[in-house]
Structure 1
Amino acid sequence: MPSASVRTRDLPAAVAAVGATALGAGLGELVAALVAPTASPFAVIGGGMIDIAPAWAKNLAISLFGTGDKAALLVGIAVLLLAVAGAAGVLEWHRPPWGRVVLGALGVVGAIVALTRSDAGMLSPVPSIVAAGVASAATAWLIGRLRRGPRSGLAADEGLTRRSVLALSGIAVAAGALAAAGSFALSSGARAVSAVRAALRLPTPTTTTDVPAAAELGIDGLSPVITPTADFYRIDTALVVPQVDPADWTLRVHGLVEQEVVLRWDDLLDLAPKETVATLTCVSNEVGGSLIGTARWLGVPLREVLARARPTAEADMVLSRSIDGFTASSPLEALTDDRDALLAIGMNGEPLPIEHGFPVRMVVPGLYGYVSATKWVTELEVTRYDRAEGYWTPRGWSERGPVKLQSRIDVPRAGARVEAGAAVIAGVAWQTHVGVSGVEVQIDDGAWQPATLAAAISADTWVQWSLAWEATSGSHTVRCRAISADGQTQTDAPAPPAPDGATGWHELTVTVA
């Protein structure tokens, strides 16, 4: 049975290890900024967790946190790390040196994961090793100080020892936070690429897509037909956003081709970019969800780039690869037919934002992003579906991802209170590269009523719709369904996003005063 003195030192021992681990983590981030920016310990662990996450876990994270899924993951990693550190501190107090062994093992795991990343370099393991080494050494020193205790044996002196260890642990946390802040300040690569982007002038497109005035219904609360860049959703696997200077960027086209092609930034600009408007959506988008947006994209048609390489007759897929190792499996046909599939360099009149793939990303109407929207793209491998697979396919998602027919109610919002009398129900509908010919709305169990469609920009974009409603007092259920340009009616069968996109009707409840 441990003595009361031993038990009362469990908490100081846990706090000491937490402080030591915070110091190690901060110094690890600082070392990463200096020698291996993509091997930040938090990014390495987080990236590894994303890599092994099954489809249901990815979908759960996005449904709970939306585009804040990465921030939530990093916070979760920090909480878990500190919990493990606290337990290691108690273990070190009772069974030395096993607490240090646990912390050291975390560093070994981080170093191994860093080496297995696609962008790993010789120095990639160093930040994780430094983090673990500092955490282990500082834990041993602080708990050793706690174990030595007061030489006089007086209770007051023992309390002073515990307080001094707690104070030193607090100093370690503060030092770790300062080191982490220093790592951010030293991210000169990010600042340099931001400066290059700010100074970049986009070429004039050879062709543009007109957005008719009638495409915008002008209803308060209805999603604008062109999504502002700041509001455009971001879903990808990059915890550390790649920083790619256009001067260093290359695109390699290889595989089942007659002629391998390598393009640089200036080569891409020489191919006469065009501007188009296209809607992109994530396969993780729930029915009625917000992981969808429409933008003006400036870029070079992928079919022109692939035509230079001359794919062979046996090819049926293009495996695009990001600089961070992400891959997407796109049907070759979708990149070479008449749709505006682009190597995009601009978004809404400006160079691509860095977090949206600067300097070059893929935009392919009609396909969910996980099989087409590769950001920071550096490679196109022309291949076959029976020879290769994209990042998400072995993780439970379908190898092909055509966008499904969907519609959403934006006005009124779920749970909203509406004044009785003249009101409006409005939203958006889409099935990119097919198009939408109609939307119907049902109120409670009444008949389906045809909504008024705004003018469509093209089959590759969503379309706004509205329905005048004479609202009566009480609680009402409102639902919508779309009709595609080829005559299909949106299914009412509910299905989750995994493995190939959600289905069902968007439905909400409205209270009329």
Structure 2
Amino acid sequence: LLLGAGAVGGLALVGASVARVVGVRRAPVAPALELPDAASTVPPLPAGADLDIEGLAPFRTPNEEFYRIDTAFVVPRVDPATWTLRVHGMVEQEVTMTLDDLLADDLVEAWVTLCCVSNQVGGDLVGNALWLGLPVREVLDRAGVRPGADMVLSRSVDGFTASTPLEVLTDDRNALLAVGMNGTDLPPEHGYPVRVVVPGLYGYVSATKWVSELQVTRFADETAYWTDRGWSAHGPVKISSRIDVPRGRSVAAGEVVVAGVAWAQHTGIAAVEVRVDDGEWQPCELAEQVHVDTWRQWFFRWDAPAGTHSLEVRATGQDGEIQTGERVGVVPDGATGWHRVDVQVG
């Protein structure tokens, strides 16, 4: 099952609207890779990081449930034996890597939550996975970035391009050339054999699947697929929160557990609050934080009286930013607003 937003193949972006397309397509069968052990591994999940609450999104999104958004109407068939990555442009020397080169390097693990810019308030185009890959900054260091560069244009084997600010590929975050996802090879529909994963940016400016080129350049000189279609050039993820339960069902009067997830990649979540029927904001309990680049689960114990009620949620980042309640659509740089659900209590 393919879930696509924006232009999926030729189906698409019309004016300022984003369409969600559902279709059935079979992904190609890909040769299994012999993934090496990571040179740097993540620690075990702390107790209390993954809450056992029915209906709440798990901390780790299974590969088969991870959202898929891209422009490929047909999943590219990439031969790992002939795949290469070319790093060129404003560099001291071009670098070309084979898959064997990449797999022989010092790969690292990183928990990273990805989110699509077309995710509506309360939407499900967001997921969290354990990625295995080579930090992009190491490849750029080998090429030697020339002064004046401020963007890396990544290119897919199918021609898709994404314009990523150079600074987020060279700072301390784990921006990766990823080869593994949740302990296995990348599924073909998620970029096999190599894709780009960048914490803190929407996928349209960073998450190039089936990547084949990194061109070091400038925003003034190059544009990418979605920026050519009116979307913002930089695309930082906006602080967001979502109610997973109760949602779309009736509940009995009495204590009701309200729960969901919140994310502010590369900043981290400091607090989540819920309010009932436009009342006062009340603090929620948070799951243990795993990393600032991942979402964080939360819950709230509500003494629910009979009747129809509304619930809203908002989050605060570790930088002090409070999620705005202003409702804005996804174009050109992501939706904002508090997620609201109506609940029938009997």
TM class by shorter-chain length? Answer: over 0.9
Alignment-mate amino acid for residue 357 of structure 1? G
Partners of 2:283 and 2:157 lie apart in 1 by 47
Alignment-mate amino acid for residue 503 of structure 1? T
Alignment-mate amino acid for residue 494 of structure 1? R
Q: Structure 1 446/46 Cα, relative in aligned 2: closer, same or farther at 3 Å?
A: closer
Q: Structure 1 453/441 Cα, relative in aligned 2: closer, same or farther at 3 Å?
A: same
Partners of 1:423 and 1:465 lie apart in 2 by 14
Q: Does 1:474 align with 2:304?
A: no
Alignment-mate amino acid for residue 191 of structure 2? G
- 1:222 is aligned, of 52, 56, 71, to 56
Which runs of structure 1 show a deviation greater than 3 angstroms over 4 or more consecutive aligned residues?
A: 45-50
Q: Does 1:266 align with 2:100?
A: yes
Q: Give aligned pairs, total.
A: 339
Partners of 1:400 and 1:340 lie apart in 2 by 18
Secondary structure, aligned partner of 2:179: strand
Q: Does 1:377 align with 2:337?
A: no
Q: Does 1:493 align with 2:326?
A: yes
- 1:328 is aligned, of 162, 173, 193, to 162
The residue that corresponds to 2:69 in the other structure is 235
Gaps of 5+ in 1: 1-44, 75-183
Partners of 2:72 and 2:336 lie apart in 1 by 28
Partners of 1:323 and 1:377 lie apart in 2 by 6
Q: Structure 1 216/47 Cα, relative in aligned 2: closer, same or farther at 3 Å?
A: closer
The residue that corresponds to 1:245 in the other structure is 79
User: 8 Å contact 1:417–1:510 — kept in the other structure?
Assistant: yes
Secondary structure, aligned partner of 1:209: coil
Which one has more relative contact order, counting CA pairs under 8 Å at least 6 apart?
A: 2
C-alpha RMSD over aligned residues: 1.6
User: 8 Å contact 1:55–1:498 — kept in the other structure?
Assistant: no
Give, in angstroms, the shift of residue 48 of structure 1.
Answer: 4.1
Bigger proportion of residues as strand? 2
Gaps of 5+ in 2: 1-6
Give, in angstroms, the shift of residue 46 of structure 1.
Answer: 7.3
Q: Structure 1 257/55 Cα, relative in aligned 2: closer, same or farther at 3 Å?
A: farther
The residue that corresponds to 1:47 in the other structure is 9
Q: Structure 1 503/494 Cα, relative in aligned 2: closer, same or farther at 3 Å?
A: same
Partners of 1:55 and 1:228 lie apart in 2 by 34
Give, in angstroms, the shift of residue 207 of structure 1.
Answer: 1.2
Pairwise mapping of residues 434-473 of structure 1 onto structure 2 (< 5 A)? 434-473=267-306
Task: Pick the structure with greater CA Rg.
Answer: 1
Q: Structure 1 275/55 Cα, relative in aligned 2: closer, same or farther at 3 Å?
A: farther
The residue that corresponds to 1:206 in the other structure is 39
The residue that corresponds to 1:24 in the other structure is none
Partners of 1:275 and 1:396 lie apart in 2 by 34
Give, in angstroms, the shift of residue 270 of structure 1.
Answer: 2.0
Alignment-mate amino acid for residue 35 of structure 2? L
Give, in angstroms, the shift of residue 49 of structure 1.
Answer: 4.7
User: 8 Å contact 2:8–2:70 — kept in the other structure?
Assistant: no
Secondary structure, aligned partner of 2:241: strand
Partners of 2:322 and 2:104 lie apart in 1 by 43
Partners of 1:447 and 1:399 lie apart in 2 by 37
Give, in angstroms, the shift of residue 248 of structure 1.
Answer: 0.8
Secondary structure, aligned partner of 1:425: strand
Give CA-to-partner distance per residue, 1:382-414, whole Å, 9 cap, x none.
Answer: 000000011000111101100001000001013
Give CA-to-partner distance per residue, 1:206-259, whole Å, 9 cap, x none.
Answer: 111122121111110000000011100000000010011111100000000011
- For structure 1, which segment, 209-218 or 233-242, has the greater mean C-alpha deviation from structure 2 after superposition? 209-218
Secondary structure, aligned partner of 2:81: helix
Partners of 1:463 and 1:271 lie apart in 2 by 31
